[in-house]
Structure 1
Amino acid sequence: MVINNSHQNSNRQTTVQILDYQILETVYSGSRTLVYRAIRTSDRLPVVIKLLKNEYPTFSELVQFRNQYTITKNLCKPGIIQTYSLEPYRNGYALVMEDFGGISLHEWALKAEKLLSLRDFLEVAIALCNILYILYSERIIHKDIKPSNILINPETKQVKLIDFSIASLLPQETENSINPNILEGTIAYISPEQTGRMNRGIDYRTDFYSLGITFYELLTGQLPFQSNDPMELVHCHIAKPAPLVHEINPKIPSVLSKIVSKLMAKNAENRYQSALGLKFDLEKYLHQLQATGRIEDFEIAQHDMCDRFLIPDKLYGRETEVETLLQAFER
């Protein structure tokens, strides 16, 4: 059975024909992908179908599309979108996933027409900590954490992570310096080491930096670094400190501002080292809010420990030599 669905895109009519699926609506139409809500005709199962927009996708696009399926097909964990199948479609693939009634966190925040309440934010943030702990346990680096890749059911508040197209199953990898216009990930959210200009490897803590920027945006309504110049954004991620959250939004308590700033530390060693350590602080914050409605300042990251042996990409015992090099660079 073939179902047709037409939608307008750049004033050009496109007909979607996907075997055994009844297309209900277009959920997303981006520069590279299309996403539809549909029903599988064999059992009336609600699904979401993701397609490549390019009629003749590149080899790299096809690899990334398959990567989503390869990583998530056996990852049946709460908080991770369930993938049902990868099916041939025209010159590429159709990725069929569960439909739990979710919309992107970005869309959810926009519909609120105002900044999220602290309680709503904390509940979402704690759910994301649980998701990042699953990724850490499975040795997966997502590399593209951002509000549009996080879905939330507006009724149940269930949160799930999507889009594993550039995710890695390696515990650590190296990013080479490349043109900022073709960096992996979304440049407004990528970590300093993900730019390829830090001479250091990428590990699970790169997702903590992107999570920090996501938190920043949810709490302030804006990104910490704003520019249309990719090179300027790369420089900001590497070297420019972001304005503190409570300076942008005075309603945010300083302790939450500290948590976000720690997530966004330039060096991975200075960020949170575990999702559970971050979750402990957020839950402590939430319990205070529920019990008294007030937030008492507390020392963050006191329960933040990593159970992996990681050699820091940092020089130790070479302070004099480093200072000499820096002085020479300044001259």
Structure 2
Amino acid sequence: EVFRGDWRLPVAVKRMRGSLQQKELIEFVREGEMLRALSHPSIVKLYGVHSTGGNYSLVLEHAQGANLFDYLHKFNKTVPVGKQLSIALQLCDALAFVHEHRIVHRDVKPQNVIYNDKTGSAKLCDFGLARLMPWGMSELHPTQLGTGGTPAYQAPEVLKRHAVGLKLDLYGYAVTLWEVYTTQLPWSDCNLEQMTSRVAALNQRPPVPPDMPKEYAEVVQ
């Protein structure tokens, strides 16, 4: 659950509902630790972690706007082409910064991008599934990743339960940009089994529209 609050300034309070299982608590603490290390204009900032009476909360920057999924599909809005490229650059910069800190986000998708259509700013959020890549390692084994994530935005190697590296996030990034341009849900014409087969076995990707600008298409592909 996410609430708006005040902590000497407007903040967003992300509270875990009910009593936490050990796994949920570990992920919650991990998200706080990840965000504490990341200070970037295109990443939602963490101000602090709060615990009282067995309830745990993250106190986060209150980013103005809506997540991209709601913006596109709930409010039925479209992003102007010029601002689409700006979103692509901002998220690219954010992911480059995250990867410099050897963090894999693992859940890049429109729901985890806060977009302000007045300023054009885009901010990456929700590091609940993120993992730290230990120094000296270039890949994480599936046993180190656990489960989670949204299949439509997951890379083929994740669906095939292979080891993954920092480049894992680039697939979700590309599908997110595809969705921003087309305003369509990826793989909406098939079920989970069919989608997994098309992505993991047949190495297919959402089709790039012929009218997509060359610069944007190069990023998506």
Residues 1:257 and 2:217 aligned together: yes
SS of match in other structure, 2:103: coil
Unaligned residue ranges in structure 1 (runs of 5+): 1-33, 262-331
Contact kept in structure 1, 2:38 and 2:98, CA below 8 Å? no
- Distance verdict in 2 for CA 1:100–1:114, change over 3 Å: closer
- Distance verdict in 2 for CA 1:175–1:205, change over 3 Å: same
Letter of the 2:16 counterpart: L
> Could you say which structure has the greater relative contact order, defined with CA pairs below 8 angstroms and 6 or more residues apart?
2
Distance in 2, matches of 1:151 and 1:65, equals 20
Aligned twin of 2:14: 50
Which structure 2 residues correspond to residues 1-80 of structure 1 after superposition, within 5 A? Answer: 34-40=1-7, 43=8, 45-53=9-17, 55-80=18-43
Aligned twin of 1:233: 195
Q: CA RMSD in A?
A: 2.5
- The structural deviation recorded for 1:91 is 3.0
Which structure 2 residues correspond to residues 215-234 of structure 1 after superposition, within 5 A? Answer: 215-226=177-188, 229-234=191-196
Residues 1:145 and 2:108 aligned together: yes
TM-score of the aligned structures, taking structure 2 as reference length:
0.86
Q: CA-to-partner distance for each residue in 1:146-192, whole Å, 9 max, x for gaps?
A: 0111112232222211111111111520115x9xxx83211121111
- The structural deviation recorded for 1:50 is 0.5
Distance in 1, matches of 2:166 and 2:200, equals 18
Contact kept in structure 1, 2:4 and 2:10, CA below 8 Å? yes
- Distance verdict in 2 for CA 1:98–1:253, change over 3 Å: closer
TM-score of the aligned structures, taking structure 1 as reference length:
0.59
- The structural deviation recorded for 1:48 is 0.2
| Pick aligned residue for 1:174 from 123, 141, 147 | 141
Distance in 1, matches of 2:120 and 2:140, equals 34
- Distance verdict in 2 for CA 1:167–1:259, change over 3 Å: same
Which structure 2 residues correspond to residues 165-314 of structure 1 after superposition, within 5 A? Answer: 165-170=128-133, 171-176=138-143, 183-195=147-159, 197=160, 199=162, 201-226=163-188, 229-240=191-202, 241-246=204-209, 250-253=210-213, 256-261=216-221
Unaligned residue ranges in structure 2 (runs of 5+): none
Distance in 2, matches of 1:253 and 1:155, equals 23
SS of match in other structure, 1:202: coil
Tell which structure's C-alpha radius of gyration is larger. Answer: 1
Contact kept in structure 1, 2:85 and 2:216, CA below 8 Å? no
Distance in 2, matches of 1:102 and 1:224, equals 23
Distance in 2, matches of 1:113 and 1:166, equals 28
Aligned twin of 1:271: none
SS of match in other structure, 1:208: helix
Distance in 2, matches of 1:202 and 1:139, equals 13
Letter of the 2:35 counterpart: T
Letter of the 1:253 counterpart: P
- The structural deviation recorded for 1:233 is 3.1
Which structure 2 residues correspond to residues 76-155 of structure 1 after superposition, within 5 A? Answer: 76-110=39-73, 113-155=76-118
- The structural deviation recorded for 1:61 is 1.2
